[in-house]
Amino acid sequence: MKKIAALLVAAAVAVFGSACAAKKDEAATLTVGATQVPHAEILEHLKPQLEKQGVKLEVKVFQDYVLPNKAVEEGQLDANYFQHIPWMTATNKEKGYHLVKVAGVHIEPMGAYSRKIKDINQLKNGATVAIPNATSELTRVLLLLDSQKLIQLDNREGDKTLKNIKSNPKNLQFKLLEPAVLPRVLDQVDFAVINTNYALQAKLNPVKDSLFIEGKESPYVNVLATKQGNEKNEALQKLAKALTSPETKKFIEKKYKGAVVPAF
């Protein structure tokens, strides 16, 4: 009887232990949304390293800048990695989300690309320029065009729109489009200002192919983001540490050759 009781206790302990192990494995699974290039590529590179630390990283690839934030806010994702802080701030304000930065990782200098001209001095009067339609990206693009003396903005602080253009000497005609669409309209416009992740995805080399590009001092650092209250999650902190490690810095510099710049 004692032997049977001991066996029952051992079996119960084994079942309980298995259940705890399963819960532990489940708790260590981290689901992160990202755009394909370079974000998902960087995350995929980190999978073996994180697995050794007890974190199973699942990467969900998105083709837009809207759904990854919605998924984090609604709890479908633990975090995302695709956006800079001005975009996240604007989304929080517009949608009532509660997204916060976990770690700043890299800068993707935004550049201008063309299939019609090789140099910005070849730009004709009345040229058509395709630019992103989102408010935070529009501000960034207009500041870049201003720095190239293609337009002159007013001196007001804050977000910029086309209404803030004080001078447009080339009489540029602007087409506002979804960021993901911009590489596909290069044959239809004189040049387009494109986010680096979409440029890389379209096989454009920001260093070699751009007419001009943001400097490394750009404040638009891409971040690992999560919903407020989840920042201290152990698995998420391990990912943040891995993303900002010397090894990741070397990987980014070697793979992207200046098109993506580590910000740590």
| Residue 58 belongs to some domain of the structure | yes
Please confirm whether the linkage preceding 38 is cis (ω < 30° from 0): yes
Residue 35 sits in the same domain as residue 116? no
Distance of CA 8 to the CA centre of its chain: 53
Residue 122: predicted pLDDT: 97
| Residue 5 belongs to some domain of the structure | no
Q: Which of 193, 213, 233 is the last residue of a domain?
A: 213
Residue 104 token pair: 């700043």
* 38, burial (CB in 10 Å: exposed 0-12, middle 13-18, buried 19+): buried
Residue 29: how many CB atoms within 10 A of its CB? 12
Residue 124 sits in the same domain as residue 205? yes
251/42 Cα distance (integer angstroms): 8
Split into its structural domains, the chain has a count of 2
Residue 116 sits in the same domain as residue 203? yes
Residue 121 sits in the same domain as residue 103? no
Residue 251: predicted pLDDT: 98
Residue type (1 letter), 114? S
Residue 26: predicted pLDDT: 53
| Residue 3 belongs to some domain of the structure | no
| Residue 21 belongs to some domain of the structure | no
> In terms of residue numbers, what domain contains 199?
111-213
119: Cβ contacts below 8 Å, ≥ 6 apart: 211
Q: Write the CA distances from 49 to 236, 242, 260, integer angstroms.
A: 14, 8, 21
* β-pair type (261-262, 99-107): antiparallel
Q: What does the pLDDT look like over 66-122, one tens digit per residue? A: 999 999 999 999 999 999 999 999 999 999 999 999 999 999 999 999 999 999 999
Residue 81 sits in the same domain as residue 162? no
Positions of the chain with pLDDT under 50: 1-25, 27
Residue 41 token pair: 């590529």
Residue 233: predicted pLDDT: 97
Residue 192 sits in the same domain as residue 238? no
CATH code at position 61 = 3.40.190.10
